[in-house]
Amino acid sequence: MDIKRKKRRGLQAWVSWWIEKILAASGGITAFIILLIVVFLFKEGVGLFQSPRVDEGYVLLMHSSNEVDQLSADELKGIFDEDITNWAEVGGKNQAITSLRLDQIMDRFTEEELGGEYEYLSQRMGELIATTPGVIAFVPTLYAPLDHPAVQAMTDNTIALRDFFVGKEWIPTATPVPLFGTLPLVMGTLWVSLFAILIALPLGLGVAIYLAELASPRVRSLLKPVIELLAGIPSVVYGFFGLVVLVPWVQRVLDLPVGETAFVGSLILAIMALPTLISVAEESMKKTPRALREASLALGATHWQTIYKVVVPYASSGISAGVVLGIGRALGETMAVLMVTGNAALIPHTLMQPVRTIPATIAAELGEAAAGGSHYQALFLLGAILFLMTLIVNLMAEALAKKQHNKGF
Amino acid sequence: MRMKRKKRAQWLAFALFRLLGVLVVALLIWILGFIVYQGIGVISWEFLTTGPTEGMTGGGIYPAIVGTLCLVVGSLVISFPLGVMAGIYTQEYAKKGKLVQFIRLMTNNLAGIPSIVMGLFGMTLFVNTLGFGDSILAGSLTLSLLVLPIIIRTTEEALASVPYAFRVGSYALGATKLQTIARVVLPQALPNIMTGLVLSVGRVSGETAPILFTVAAYFLPKLPTSILDPVMALPYHLYVLVTSGTDLEATRPMAYGTALVLIVLVLIVNLLAHGVRNRLGRKVKMN
Amino acid sequence: MIKAESIDFYYGEYHALKNISMQMEPNTVTALIGPSGCGKSTFLRLFNRMNDLIEGTRLEGKCWVDGVDIYDKSVDVDELRKRVGMVFQKPTPFPKSIFENVAYGLRVNGIKDKKFIAQRVEESLRGAALWDEVKDKLKKSAYELSGGQQQRLCIARSLAISPSVLLMDEPASALDPISTSKIEELIYSLKEHYTIVIVTHNMQQASRVSDKTGFFMLGELIEYNDTKKIFLNPAMEETQNYITGRFG
């Protein structure tokens, strides 16, 4: 009998060789997709820090005697909102600020002075700036009198990392410069998600204990599908339910000016996080060795004492993995939150205020942002931040789940 | 005295947990009951088979149903073979160790990526870079990324549950690894793999965020003619009806009807998944 | 003193113990031996009503511990288990510190006096011959101890609630020989204060530590007598076959 290894030939061997290669390639697909996601999010978003703050085709003009040449986005907003009224406040001379937009400039002149086709607009602008030393004007570059000796254009900066990460305002459509402060969005996302878990944890843990320890097999076989169904309901349906039932109810009961608040967002997210929390917690409690349980009962502990002194501590890593996973879900949930939180880009001070989360912001604004513009880039960076947040959370959950079988401490 | 307190604490705690169990059931009944109660009157043959009319205050949701079906079929055609192959590779071929651990970690992370981020990614890659535009193709590709981890995981679990003895039996007859997997292991694991498929149907038909910028049309009464056409989809349609109709009061009934159709879809999917799993349960007992 | 009278026990349809009567004296060690599945562990677990935890079981007959009918309706199971300590086959430390493991039984029984607890923990650890090895690391996790130390910790844990009876279900079967001999010495010294019943697979162990031995087979108590008598001159042929290793 010849059992020596033969070089396999023929179609069949060739086909199976290829199939194995294809299988191997598909095994790496998830890693490849994640890599692609990282590359594309950053590729689309990172240009934000290279693009000028002032919209293309516009320029900020000042009197040439003005020594201030650096203004932050917040300061510019303050000036044009007339919250900042003296150059001394932003490091200049003691001189009143006159902020002017194009329409305000045009209001100061008659049609004849500007010319039928605005051919004298540039000239008039130059004269106006020359006679007003405290001026700052936001005008189209096309009409800017840049060669006038009394006029200087402010050197424009690119959008600063600092403004993006710790800026307190998110007003992407503001002029002269949009404000891309992500802090309110990050805070909004965290607040809503963490509070949701705070509501869901005691509830979910209770139900998990009931399922793992108390329920008869019959009740369990009834309750499990209920939990699966809760997990299966689409998030828009939750959002819809929240909007038509919970929002008016919370508004009435708590007597609020608006019902669309962080609180309702958390409520809905809590309901949505329940199934994950319950099933992960139940599974890890079921893994408690029977011997440990019996040892506790043998010492005269009641069933309840055994649960909270032995079973829950033993399952604590598993339970915290469930909690962390729930937070991850809540962080990324888009539609339900978008529909019930009112979407105000404010740093929340109480839960009874409207807030806006990162996913909701992306969903609501991406449709209006011009592709490749700074708003568009900012939204992609938000996506990247969200991606990183959930990645960290997922890795934490993974580590916790692994820990369950090492030490119980 | 002391003993009594111990017992009372237990009684109280257990009563509370029973109450919580009841609460969860009540929660589901509340949500489902509300939508069924409000939506049942809207459902009619006409509602299911005609397009929206009169600024979405009348007519039906036929194009959205068709659109969702297209997306379900499209995304599963892509993700199912890919996911099953990836599952077979990690479970049967890859050497147990760092590599498999890494792949599992990546699969779990992919499952944890928020759907809106998937939407962003789908938009840049499929819609813009590859030039598919807002289309069934781009939407299906994006959605398939979302369900890929579900399919991979259920495939792995299904394969792992096939008893080792089956494989040994096949190898003993001189079958190669590939033959063993294709003829013995896969057929045994198939019912369980199908559970993953069914669950994915539920997920795809309910997701909104990934299709916002890759496929979904706000209002499009005509049906798609190719995979490069945009379509309406049930969850997005519900979102539009709820938040951006011109006359919110008049579109409410349409919204309830759409929500009910979505819920019924989810119910059917869950029942199916349950049925498949139960059949499998019996099979295992028989062996 | 422990007494069982005409015990029949069923797991569903399965008749696990058949008409067993037995009496164990205070301050003695009684060993229960027999082949796997003979019912010796089931019998042991009757005395702290551990079998109650398994669904679908049924008991006929009566059990007494210190003169109390323990299956009577008026008996509080938790209180009974406080009186009857149990040590399991594998060490089962809780995910807590060494100190908290020993204090567990006291705490669940509502004792809050810190001084008293600390004192009991020390006494119990000394009683289990573990004090010198752990006195400097009481706050450390119980999982940091070796297997033998963990088992002695579990014995200390049982001693802390001052039981009158100690049930041991193959307490040394998962341990190395050195740890085993330590546990055996401990069992021998504990009988001064407790009624001890030990289930074991190891016949040398039974002959070393016990005063009386009961031999179980197929749910029946074949022979029950002084250990010396059982091992040197058994009355029944089955016993003879088992201890000389002809089956089991």
The answer to whether residues B266 and B36 touch, using CB atoms and an 8 Å cutoff, is no
Residue C248 lies in a domain: no
Q: How far apart are CA C75 and CA C194, in angstroms?
A: 21
Q: Which chain A residue lies closest to B238 (C-alpha atoms)?
A: A236
Instruction: Choose the mutation target among B1, B2, B6, B7 for the interface with C, i.e. most C CBs under 10 Å.
Output: B6
Of A322-336, B53-67, B69-83, B178-192, give the lowest mean pLDDT range.
B53-67
Mean pLDDT of A355-362: 90
Of the candidates A16, A363, A390, which has its C-beta nearest B113's C-beta?
A390
Q: Subunits that touch chain A (at least 3 Cβ pairs < 8 angstroms)?
A: B, C
Residue A15 lies in a domain: no
Residue A33 lies in a domain: no
pLDDT for position A201: 93
Radius of gyration of chain A (CA): 31
pLDDT for position B122: 93
Q: How far apart are CA B213 and CA B143, in angstroms?
A: 12
pLDDT for position C73: 85
Q: How far apart are CA B136 and CA B227, in angstroms?
A: 5
Radius of gyration of chain C (CA): 18
pLDDT for position B269: 85
Final residue belonging to a domain, choices A105, A123, A157 = A157
CA A127, A128, A131, A136 torsion: positive or negative? negative
Please report, for residues B167, C82, C103, the alpha-carbon distance to residue C113 in angstroms, rounded to integers and kept in the order given: 62, 18, 11
Peptide bond into A176 cis (omega under 30): yes
The answer to whether residues A143 and A121 touch, using CB atoms and an 8 Å cutoff, is yes
Residue C214: count of CB within 10 angstroms of its CB: 25
**Per the structure, how many domains does chain A have?**
2
Q: Which chain A residue lies closest to B20 (C-alpha atoms)?
A: A207
Residue by residue, pLDDT tens for chain C (248 residues) are 888 988 899 998 889 899 999 999 888 999 999 888 888 899 999 998 888 888 888 889 989 888 888 888 888 888 888 889 898 888 888 888 999 999 998 988 888 899 999 999 998 998 888 898 998 999 999 988 988 899 999 999 998 988 889 999 988 887 888 888 888 888 888 888 889 999 998 888 888 899 999 999 888 899 999 999 988 888 888 888 888 876 54
Place of tokens 């305000």: A104
Indicate which CATH number applies to the domain containing C118. Answer: 3.40.50.300
Residue B181 has pLDDT above 70, yes or no: yes
In terms of Cα–Cα distance, which of A358, B2, B92, A409 is closest to C96?
A: A409
In terms of Cα–Cα distance, which of A278, A272, A283, A266 is closest to A198?
A: A266
Distance from CA of B9 to the nearest CA of C (A): 12
Distance from CA of B2 to the nearest CA of C (A): 6
Distance from CA of B80 to the nearest CA of C (A): 43
pLDDT for position B73: 93
Residue A20 lies in a domain: no
Residue C113 in contact with partner chain B when CB distance is under 8 A = no
Of the candidates C48, C89, C95, which has its C-beta nearest A409's C-beta?
C95
Q: Subunits that touch chain B (at least 3 Cβ pairs < 8 angstroms)?
A: A, C
Residue B274 has pLDDT above 90, yes or no: no
In terms of Cα–Cα distance, which of B158, B234, B229, B160 is closest to B198?
A: B158
Same domain, yes or no: A252 and A105: no
Residues 218-237 of B with CB under 8 A from A: 235-236
Q: With bands split at pLDDT 50, 70 and 90, how would you rate the model's confidence at A407? A: very low
Same domain, yes or no: A233 and A89: no
Q: Which domains does chain B have, with CATH numbers?
A: 58-286 (1.10.3720.10)
Q: With bands split at pLDDT 50, 70 and 90, how would you rate the model's confidence at B284? A: very low
Residue C11 lies in a domain: yes
B/e letters for B96-127, b = 16+ CB within 10 Å, e = fewer, are: eeeebeebbbbbbbbbbbbbbbbbbbbbbbbb
In terms of Cα–Cα distance, which of A355, A276, A378, A353 is closest to A319?
A: A276
In terms of Cα–Cα distance, which of C204, C210, C241 is closest to C224?
A: C210
Final residue belonging to a domain, choices A122, A157, A192 = A157
Of A74-78, A156-160, B173-177, C121-125, give the lowest mean pLDDT range.
A156-160
Q: With bands split at pLDDT 50, 70 and 90, how would you rate the model's confidence at A44? A: confident
pTM of the model: 0.83
Residue A31 lies in a domain: no
- Residue A318 is classified by DSSP as H
Residue A65 in contact with partner chain C when CB distance is under 8 A = no
Same domain, yes or no: A132 and A201: no
Of A96-105, A245-254, A322-331, B256-265, give the lowest mean pLDDT range.
A96-105
Contacts of A386 in chain B (CB under 8 A): 114, 116-117
Q: With bands split at pLDDT 50, 70 and 90, how would you rate the model's confidence at B148? A: very high
Of A55-64, B256-265, C113-122, give the lowest mean pLDDT range.
A55-64
Distance from CA of B232 to the nearest CA of A (A): 15
Please report, for residues A11, A368, C196, the alpha-carbon distance to residue C1 in angstroms, rounded to integers and kept in the order given: 81, 85, 10
In terms of Cα–Cα distance, which of C125, C112, C185 is closest to C154?
A: C125
Indicate which CATH number applies to the domain containing A394. Answer: 1.10.3720.10
Residue A43 lies in a domain: no
Residue A8 has pLDDT above 70, yes or no: no
Same domain, yes or no: A204 and A105: no
Q: How far apart are CA B85 and CA A336, in angstroms?
A: 34
Please report, for residues A290, A343, A389, B180, C193, the alpha-carbon distance to residue B169 in angstroms, rounded to integers and kept in the order given: 35, 62, 48, 9, 59
Q: How far apart are CA C236 and CA C248, in angstroms?
A: 16
**Per the structure, how many domains does chain C have?**
1
Encode pLDDT of A114-171 as tens digits: 777 777 888 888 888 888 888 888 888 888 777 787 788 877 777 777 778 888 888 8
Same domain, yes or no: A286 and A332: yes
Q: How far apart are CA B270 and CA A232, in angstroms?
A: 8
pLDDT for position B173: 78
Q: How far apart are CA A247 and CA A218, in angstroms?
A: 36
Q: Subunits that touch chain C (at least 3 Cβ pairs < 8 angstroms)?
A: A, B
| Cβ–Cβ gap A214/B14 under 8 Å | yes
Residue C99 lies in a domain: yes
Angle at alpha carbon of residue A390, lines to A384 and A395, rounded to 5°: 125
Residue A106: which domain range?
Answer: 58-157
Distance from CA of B68 to the nearest CA of A (A): 13
Contacts of B2 in chain C (CB under 8 A): 109-110
Q: In percent, how much of chain B has pLDDT > 90?
A: 40
Axis-axis angle for helices B115-122, A374-403 (nearest 10): 140
Same domain, yes or no: A209 and A345: yes
Q: What is the mean pLDDT of chain B?
A: 86
Residue C151: which domain range?
Answer: 2-243
Q: How far apart are CA A192 and CA A264, in angstroms?
A: 9
Q: How far apart are CA B156 and CA B158, in angstroms?
A: 5
Same domain, yes or no: A300 and A396: yes
A–B: how many Cβ contacts below 8 A? 241
Same domain, yes or no: A265 and A396: yes
In degrees and rounded to multiples of 5, residue A23 shows phi and psi of -60, -45
Q: Which chain A residue lies closest to C161 (C-alpha atoms)?
A: A299
Residue A1 lies in a domain: no
